[in-house]
Amino acid sequence: MTEIGQCEQETARKMLGGCPDIGSFSFWFADQRWEWSDDAATIYGYAPGEAEPSTELLQRHLHPDDRERVAQTLAEAIETASPFCTRHRIIDTENETHDVIVIGDQLFDGQGAVVGSAGYLIDVTETLEDNRQEALDDLLPDVIDARAVIEQAKGVVMFVYGVNADQAFRVLRWRSQETNIKIRALAEQLVADVVAMGGALVQQRTRFDHLLLTLHRRVTPTEPGAG
């Protein structure tokens, strides 16, 4: 682990009231290869160097009720090369259940392309007391804010070009690769620029007004009271 990574883990431990159970990981999309720190292995119940992490191994340790949701989150992160955050349960080698938070940020190669995910596994089984929720919120890093602004930028691209979410993200990723600037920075600038424009042209705004006011006519009816 790098010195910076170690420093970030120590900061996280302090914010969670001295929680010692924080491990780091890296995951490469192309060959589905995982690496984890000794601390991460310990959370799963393995001694350092005892087990080689893999998608199959990690899936076996997932709580059965959480497997599908976590698999979907990971699949989306691979498909869109985007950051992710999930809270779920794992079952260690001693059959003990742990409540964990996994935070994954983008992992770049030397050319600035996203090739995987790197982040932290945080065991919060015994540390998430109500009065520590605020500290946890502070801990969940910029990856959450990054995802929010990227989603906003995707929405802008979808509206302007009439494309779906995946296509919109590919547009942002293309600009990121072309300019060697992180997607989050480009997304923040795009959202700010759109706000500064002061809204759409009158013709576009009129068409949008019509869509907004007639939405209910195109929604598939649901049972009364359904959310």
Q: 139-188, pLDDT tens digit by residue?
A: 555 556 677 888 888 888 888 777 788 878 888 888 888 788 888 888 88
The pLDDT, as a whole number, for residue 130 is 46
pTM of the model: 0.53
Contact in structure between 156 and 117 (CB atoms under 8 Å): no
What angle is formed at CA 214 by the lines to CA 213 and CA 218, rounded to 5 degrees?
145
Higher pLDDT pick, 65 / 5: 65
Predicted confidence band of residue 15 (pLDDT cuts 50, 70, 90):
very low
Say if residue 113's pLDDT is above 70.
yes
Say if residue 115's pLDDT is above 80.
yes
Q: What percentage of the chain has pLDDT greater than the value 90?
A: 24
Which positions ≥6 away from 164 have C-beta within 8 Å? 158
CA dihedral (76, 104, 115, 44) in degrees, to 10, reads: -100
Contact in structure between 100 and 88 (CB atoms under 8 Å): yes
Predicted confidence band of residue 16 (pLDDT cuts 50, 70, 90):
very low
Query: pLDDT of 24-42, one tens digit each?
Result: 999 999 999 999 999 999 9
Q: List alpha helices for the chain, DSSP H.
A: 3-15, 38-43, 55-61, 67-80, 133-139, 142-161, 165-179, 183-197, 202-213, 215-218
